[in-house]
Amino acid sequence: PSSIERHSYDVLIVGAGGAGLRAAIAAHEAGARVAVICKSLLGKAHTVMAEGGIAAAMANVWPEDGWQVHFRDTMRGGKMLNHWRMAQLHAQEAPDRVQELEEWGALFDRTADGLISQRDFGGHRYARLAHVGDRTGLELIRTLQQRTVALGIDVYMECTVTKLFQSGQATSSAEKRASADGRITGAFAYWRESGRFVVFDAPTVVLATGGIGKSYKVTSNSWEYTGDGHALALQAGASLVNMEFVQFHPTGMVWPPSVKGILVTESVRGDGGVLRNSEGRRFMFDYIPEFFKAETADTEEEADGWYEDKAKHRRPPELLPRDEVARAINSEVKAGRGSPHGGVFLDIASRRSVEYIQRRLPSMYHQFKELADVDITAEPMEVGPTCHYVMGGVAVDPDTGESAIPGLYAAGEVAGGMHGANRLGGNSLSDLLVFGKRAGAAAAEAATRAEPAAGVSDDDVRAAAEAALAPFERQGGENAYTVQQDLQDVMHNLVGIIRTADEMEKALQDLGKLRERAQQISVEGHRQYNPGWHLSLDLANMLRVSECIARAALERTESRGGHTRDDFPATDDSWGAVNLHCTLDGESIAVRREPLPTMPDDLRQLFEEK
């Protein structure tokens, strides 16, 4: 261990997406010594792929909008399982976070009178998404990255964290939670290029590692989304909440096979695109749930009128929350009314001018032209559901982002609670900014209060290094890619968009076997730039997180938001009062029920008035 590269900071941020960078800026401004570590290059985090926009009740287009309306939409979209305090803070603070981005140099699209323009998205009552064409994530990352670099914050790129260090001798997760032991003392990582190790000593760690989509066969997520932060938190003794809720975005590309799953932004529908089946029918009118009837148009005339005059018309059913639209598409395809390649048609060509489509949706135009040879200004797209976002994540204190483990924080997609059973589009980018800032500031504050740490022991470093090198010690074992492919099939086929008890029990058995196989994976070659080795380490995380999803999904015997049970199709009020928390119990995952925190009366009233 004495030869291992070593650094010391007050706040260590794992992840350089929107949440990580916003946390880094806040921690730096609070006077902490901060490092950001990321698996890929700075500027390449998943956030860069975000298309449609940032939700914030700025009331630039609709003066009627305000944080209470945004809060109510978010809670209803999440089927009331969201942590009310997170949804409140998010709705209240998102406008300031967007404004601040502009002050730091972000160039948003404008309204005719020069304000930041806001566009329509599913589940949002008013046009609310601040955007830059359909490349909003790129502008957000560009702005935050520039600021991070200008402030002189240290960034460790292509560096992957495999373990968090904690004080004391506690080994089991339960012991760690029950004792003062388990306080964060640092993290262990390897350099992607050289395979060499690096140790960070730090009293606080902010996890900002994003999502888990790579455990599924069809996903809009990039290679980085292997649930590392979720698994690191579990291992440290923290709990994950809402893991049964995985968002399948209704519109991913379905053809050609090489691009299956790539996202088609919801803005296509927000800007006038409609969904049709093979018979040409706008089928979403057949799928308006009771819960949203009062606010959804039930004729094509009314739906089309909404684009011109929103005050006099109700919203088109194509803009229902994502879970509703994804299920409807799934049903149409199952009923034999799908498109030639197993999706449905998304048509904006017959509804908007060529000029309008190219101006509002430039990335979509190029994406389809280049990847599928389809001109979306002239013909419909073929689309179908794709695994997109995990609502579940580390259970945190709403105000600070701290988990149950002292010194361990989480923000962004890796944190849970904010979105409940289903996330509304645009609410992630705002979530990153609001809670990234909060977690960074709270971690900096805690780090300055923390007693000087004893430092990570040589024994702990040695153990972390041995665990990371274990795949090299085995001979003749399986290849990591085969195991990953089998995992993706299991999750896609058995824990996908529609679920049953039999299938999930089978999934849990299969996951057990995959875990055994993963422990036998051997890697060829040496430590320098060895993707097979990296994947073998990621796989352990993917398997843990997948088990959380399957166990929680089996436990929740109802359908709600991103979780649909064929054997329990109804939403059950008694489940509406409970969240499921997953923890690591020895080598397996334990699930426990926890009542929802009580919403104060003034907020509760917002749901009674309408």
Active site residues: 249, 269
Number of residues this chain uses to bind ligand FAD (CB under 6 A):
41
Among 69, 86, 116, 161, binds ligand FAD (CB under 6 A): 161
Instruction: State the Cα–Cα distance between residues 255 and 232, nearest whole angstrom.
Output: 35
What tokens appear for 529 in the block? 């730039």
Instruction: State the Cα–Cα distance between residues 205 and 195, nearest whole angstrom.
Output: 22
Considering the complex, state which of residue 196 and residue 513 has its C-beta at the smaller distance from ligand FAD: 196
Residues contacting 480, CB < 8 A, separation 6+: 471, 518, 521, 523, 532, 533, 535, 536, 539
What tokens appear for 378 in the block? 């002239």
Among 18, 321, 338, 496, binds ligand FAD (CB under 6 A): 18
Q: Which residue is nearest to ligand FAD (CB)?
A: 17
Among 78, 122, 210, 317, binds ligand FAD (CB under 6 A): 210
- State the minimum distance, in angstroms, from the CB of residue 393 to ligand FAD: 9
Phi, psi of 37 (to 5 degrees): -115, 135
Instruction: State the Cα–Cα distance between residues 269 and 391, nearest whole angstrom.
Output: 22
Among 12, 25, 51, 205, binds ligand FAD (CB under 6 A): 51
Instruction: State the Cα–Cα distance between residues 244 and 558, nearest whole angstrom.
Output: 11
Among 50, 98, 491, 507, binds ligand FAD (CB under 6 A): 50
* Secondary structure element (H or E) that encloses residue 163, with its range: strand 159-166
Which span sits near ligand FAD by CB under 6 A: 18-26, 340-348, 496-504, 516-524? 18-26
- State the minimum distance, in angstroms, from the CB of residue 595 to ligand FAD: 27
* Secondary structure element (H or E) that encloses residue 408, with its range: strand 408-410
Q: Does 49 bind ligand FAD (CB under 6 A)?
A: yes
Instruction: State the Cα–Cα distance between residues 22 and 151, nearest whole angstrom.
Output: 12
| DSSP assignment of 554-604 | HH--S-BTTB-BSSS-S--GGGGGEEEEEEEETTEEEEEEEEPPPPPHHHH
Q: Does 53 bind ligand FAD (CB under 6 A)?
A: yes
Considering the complex, state which of residue 143 and residue 221 has its C-beta at the smaller distance from ligand FAD: 221
- State the minimum distance, in angstroms, from the CB of residue 575 to ligand FAD: 25
Q: Does 20 bind ligand FAD (CB under 6 A)?
A: yes
Among 11, 12, 13, 14, binds ligand FAD (CB under 6 A): 14
Alpha-carbon separation of residue 526 from 3, 284, 531, 554, 582 (angstroms) = 19, 54, 11, 41, 36
Site for ligand FAD in 99-158 (CB under 6 A): 136-137
Which span sits near ligand FAD by CB under 6 A: 221-229, 280-288, 443-451, 480-488? 221-229
Q: Does 195 bind ligand FAD (CB under 6 A)?
A: no
Q: Does 212 bind ligand FAD (CB under 6 A)?
A: no
- State the minimum distance, in angstroms, from the CB of residue 593 to ligand FAD: 27
In contact, 422 and 322? CB cutoff 8 Å:
yes
Which span sits near ligand FAD by CB under 6 A: 34-42, 176-184, 372-380, 502-510? 34-42
Considering the complex, state which of residue 74 and residue 564 has its C-beta at the smaller distance from ligand FAD: 74
* N- to C-terminal Cα separation, the chain: 63
Instruction: State the Cα–Cα distance between residues 459 and 436, nearest whole angstrom.
Output: 33
Instruction: State the Cα–Cα distance between residues 352 and 344, nearest whole angstrom.
Output: 19
Among 26, 34, 39, 283, binds ligand FAD (CB under 6 A): 39
Q: Does 221 bind ligand FAD (CB under 6 A)?
A: yes
What tokens appear for 14 in the block? 């794992």
Q: Does 401 bind ligand FAD (CB under 6 A)?
A: no
Which span sits near ligand FAD by CB under 6 A: 205-213, 364-372, 472-480, 542-550? 205-213
Instruction: State the Cα–Cα distance between residues 84 and 607, nearest whole angstrom.
Output: 12
What x/- string results for residues 244 through 263 when contact with ligand FAD is judged by CB under 6 A?
-------------------x
Instruction: State the Cα–Cα distance between residues 580 and 596, nearest whole angstrom.
Output: 10
Considering the complex, state which of residue 224 and residue 382 has its C-beta at the smaller distance from ligand FAD: 224
The residues binding ligand FAD (CB under 6 A) are 14-20, 37-40, 45-47, 49-53, 136-137, 160-161, 208-210, 220-221, 224, 228, 263, 389, 412-414, 425-429, 432
